[in-house]
Structure 1
Amino acid sequence: MSRENTTRSLDSIDLAALRDPAGIFELVEVVGNGTYGQVYKGRHVKTGQLAAIKVMEVTEEEEEEIKLEINMLKSYSHHRNIATYYGAFIKRSLAGQDHQLWLVMEYCGAGSVTDLVKKTKGNCLKEDWISYICREVLRVRLS
């Protein structure tokens, strides 16, 4: 996506117009911490389908970065090695407090490559694991 297209599409995102997640998704448990907030295992209320939900406080300073992340998820989540983007929601807070943005995407229960490395407890990854990871990273890059 070119810089010009990214900037143009940022203008089309209205965070205030996003739906409230109440009755659609619910948080189950914290599974990690992201740059801007916590990541939860969540559940679609009607179907029970699991989802990863990144919960972030929306501040004016971070609004453009949040919009960029939404655009990146929308643009690239079709790839088999990138979690599928399900949507963004705003959980409104009381007056004087920042609203919460919920970015909802596919739940990957096995975790990230970082989680895999941490589970080795100081040991090296097996060579076949490393080759698989490298191959999949290249597939993302070449797509």
Structure 2
Amino acid sequence: MSRENTTRSLDSIDLAALRDPAGIFELVEVVGNGTYGQVYKGRHVKTGQLAAIKVMEVTEEEEEEIKLEINMLKSYSHHRNIATYYGAFIKKGPAGQDHQLWLVMEYCGAGSVTDLVKKTKGNCLKEDWIAYICREVLRVRSSTQRKSFFLPL
């Protein structure tokens, strides 16, 4: 995706126009903490299907980065090594408080590579695991580079 197309698509995202997640998704439990907020195990209310829900406070300073993340998820979540993107929702806060953005993605019960490393309790990952992880990261990178977009590692 060219820089010009990225900028144009960022402008087309209206965070305020997103639907409220109430009655669609519910939070079950916290499963991690990210740079911009917490990640929850969530559930689709009607089907019971599990989802990962990243809950972030929406501030003006971070709005462009949030829009970029949404575009990345929309563009690349079709790859087998990237969690599938289900949608974005806005939970409006009381007057004077920031709204919460809910990014809803496929729930990966085994956790992240970081979780895997933490479970080793100070030991190293085995070489075959490291090789597997590196190969899968490179597969994502090579398939996204064909679209003239570079993903940082």
State the TM-score bracket (shorter-chain normalisation).
over 0.9
Matches of 1:128 and 1:113 in 2, distance apart?
A: 14
- Segments of 5+ residues of structure 1 without an aligned counterpart are none
Q: Identity, % of aligned pairs?
A: 97
SS in 1 for 2:42: strand
The answer to whether 1:129 aligns with 2:129 is: yes
Deviation at 1:56, TM superposition (A): 0.4
Structure 1, residues 3-31: CA drift from partner, whole Å, max 9, x if none? 11100001110001000000000000000
| 4+ long deviations beyond 4 Å | none
User: In 1, Cα distance between the equivalents of 2:108 and 2:46?
Assistant: 20
Cα distance, 1:119 vs structure 2: 0.5
Residue 135 of structure 1: how far off its partner (Å): 1.0
State the secondary structure of the residue aligned to 2:65: helix
Secondary structure at 1:41's aligned position in 2?
strand
TM-score, structure 1 length as denominator? 0.97
Instruction: Note the alpha carbon deviations across 1:32-73, whole angstroms, 9 max, x for none.
Output: 001100000000000000000000001111111110010010
The range that moved more, 60-69 or 20-29, is: 60-69
For 2:137, what is the secondary structure of its paired residue? helix
TM-score (norm. length: structure 2):
0.91
- Aligned-residue offset at 1:134: 1.2
Unpaired stretches in structure 2, ≥5 consecutive residues: 142-153
Counterpart for residue 56 of structure 1: 56
SS in 1 for 2:102: strand
Q: Which residue of structure 2 lines up, in the alignment, with residue 37 of structure 1?
A: 37
Displacement of 1:128 in angstroms is: 1.4
SS of the residue corresponding to residue 39 of structure 2 reads strand
- The number of equivalent residue pairs is 141
